[in-house]
Chains A and B, each alone.
Chain A
């Protein structure tokens, strides 16, 4: 049976539920491409710079150093953390950056791919996912640093650290989901890329990344989806238990829904973007 494809206006809308089959099928067909694009970006990074991905270690050091200094100088008042602060901040920041760099590069992935998007037909999801893979890879490098910190502070992580990748999944779904939609919008309006980088900076301070969840329930922190998604993996890694399992559960479900919705939107609008990029 040869594959027969039909192109007609709003084909995807007429498909109904079958669209999911098509989406998963395409993703599977092109899984090698995701890997290739990831490898491509990675090796291109090293060709142009001396340290390549090692640069991603610079940001945590600077941020944590700054926070420690502000705390020391009495400008900021960070509450006591259950584990040594540098370790706490490093883990938090590393997880946060999966989201931040993933979203940033994901939102720019379609625009950045240039000719590929307008001249070649392939599921463009792979561009977003490949840029996400890049930020996960950077996390793995930072994870090496986390292990060093564990040794330095003589803090032994919980054995439940093996579940860490699973607990991290909701955050990945959320990141890819948001990236998919933002990359589309960015294709049409370039402002989105700038807005994303701006918002990410402030969002980091509004999320308990470099400081523990405050005892007082601030509205903004309470409804911050990212807070449980970042704290749960951190708590699991260090203490072996999640403090607010229900909240985490809800956040996970919401993230998954956001991802599925976003993917569908992306798939529907995918062909509109090359016309306008």
Chain B
């Protein structure tokens, strides 16, 4: 095996919907394995279903892998199998190196004991020796930022402190592979960014492989280079993070449309139906060069009247550095209301256009978000979002050392001429 640290080959896991049957099957399985009979796990018994169905992937050292999908799509189950808490019912998982898992932060914390004591216990549970914990103790406390609460029982901790402490312990056991399951959401924004930053700048840089499950697509976007989209246990798409997330969003949107049609019809078939980008010549393009003129056109279609609409357009950069550093994660946004565009009402079909003379924004791939507000600017009616809608390239192929390009020219004035 070369650089591959995690290898999943056709992994499946089944679960039972009925509690009574689950108990029965469980007992039966234990009984059978006691006598050395290998139960046939590939067949589904009554009320059983595959929670994870035939999933295969490979991860190399230093890979960052996101798993996304709706609730109940088997993300956590897959993670637990990678961790060895469950055995797969079919297929095989091969794992190389020390595994660290944050499936639930603070699992194993004893509520009555102080943070100090729990650091030692949790560390031991995660496979650290006493010496290791002692060495990392200050660093753990520092990262968790629990201050005076170190010697208070953890049951007096806020949920954020709880998560911070758990996360701090887990990252200090120096795993080769780190599994993270939707846990950062509990901490505040400051901690959230701190964790994402730590994962990108320290953990991934040290060659650790990260598997990240989250509903926060921006977090997935900022950490993961590869992603897997699971739906009902099946792999829908795997590959580039942006494309995978795009596919997921598309699915969500399609499902919404289906349910919209079923609903009352108040907002039937309304919304912003698409965004296109036009160049000077009026050609539809996706790729533009830095400094190009661009016209953004977005179509709307409203059956019912929308009073006093205003429109906001936002571009989000796919590069994690932009989302982590800036407090608002928009590189660039526009709002028709602020620009003084007054529209009394909107009905039927049509489109809006915004012309931008020079597109001097950082190069890269952008997600375009169009929001439609009504009456006042707080009332959001419709949201349109397209990942990878726009790509900005350097003007020429010369190597660049900055984020943006600006029109410029050089002059030289010799001393003698002054």
Q: Enumerate A155-173 residues with CB–CB distance to B below 8 Å.
A: none
A152 to B289, CA, bound (A): 97
Q: Give the contacting residue for A32; candidates B41, B98, B113, B130; CB below 8 A.
A: B130
CB of B406 within 8 Å of the partner chain: no
Choice from A12, A268, A269, A274 contacting B86 with Cβ under 8 Å = A274
> Closest 6 interchain pairs by CB?
A115-B107, A119-B107, A8-B92, A36-B124, A119-B104, A7-B93
Binary per-residue interface labels of chain A (129-168) against chain B in the complex, 1 for a CB within 8 Å, 0 otherwise: 0000000000000000000000000000000000000000
User: Chain A, interface size: which category?
Assistant: 35 or more
Residues on A with beta carbons closer than 8 Å to the beta carbon of B96: 2-5
- Interface contact B127-A276, CB-CB below 8 Å: no
Q: Please determine whether A6 and B93 come into contact, CB atoms closer than 8 angstroms.
A: yes
Cα distance A47–B87 in the bound complex, in angstroms:
38
B350 part of interface (Cβ distance < 8 Å): no
Contacts A120-B125, A120-B126, A271-B86; is A5 near B94 (CB within 8 Å)? Answer: yes
Looking at the complex, which one of B106, B107, B121, B129 makes contact with A37 (CB distance below 8 Å)?
A: B121
Interface: A40 (CB within 8 A): yes
Tell yes or no: A72 within 8 A of B by CB. Answer: no
B27 contacts A188, CB within 8 Å? yes
Known contacts A8-B92, A32-B124, A274-B85, then 6 further A-B pairs from the complex at CB < 8 Å, ordered by chain A residue: A2-B96, A2-B97, A4-B95, A13-B38, A120-B103, A189-B27
Q: Is the CB of A33 within 8 A of B125?
A: yes
Is residue B320 contacting chain A, with contact meaning CB distance below 8 A?
A: no
Partner of B26, one of A13, A30, A275: A275
Contact B34 A10 (CB under 8 A): no
The answer on a CB contact under 8 Å between A7 and B110 is no
User: Per-position contact with B for A1-34: 1 when CB-CB < 8 Å, else 0?
Assistant: 0111111111111100000000000000110110
Across the interface, B153 reaches (CB within 8 A) one of A9, A10, A47, namely A47
What would be 13 A-B contacts, judged by CB atoms less than 8 Å apart? A2-B97, A5-B84, A7-B92, A10-B41, A114-B107, A121-B84, A121-B101, A188-B30, A268-B30, A268-B33, A269-B29, A269-B34, A271-B87
CA distance in complex: A14, B126 (Å): 27
Separation of A188 and B15 alpha carbons in the complex (Å): 14
Q: Which residues of chain A are near B1, meaning CB under 8 Å?
A: 4
CA distance A40 to B116 in the complex (A): 12
Q: Contact check: which of B36, B81, B120 meets A7 at CB < 8 Å?
A: B81
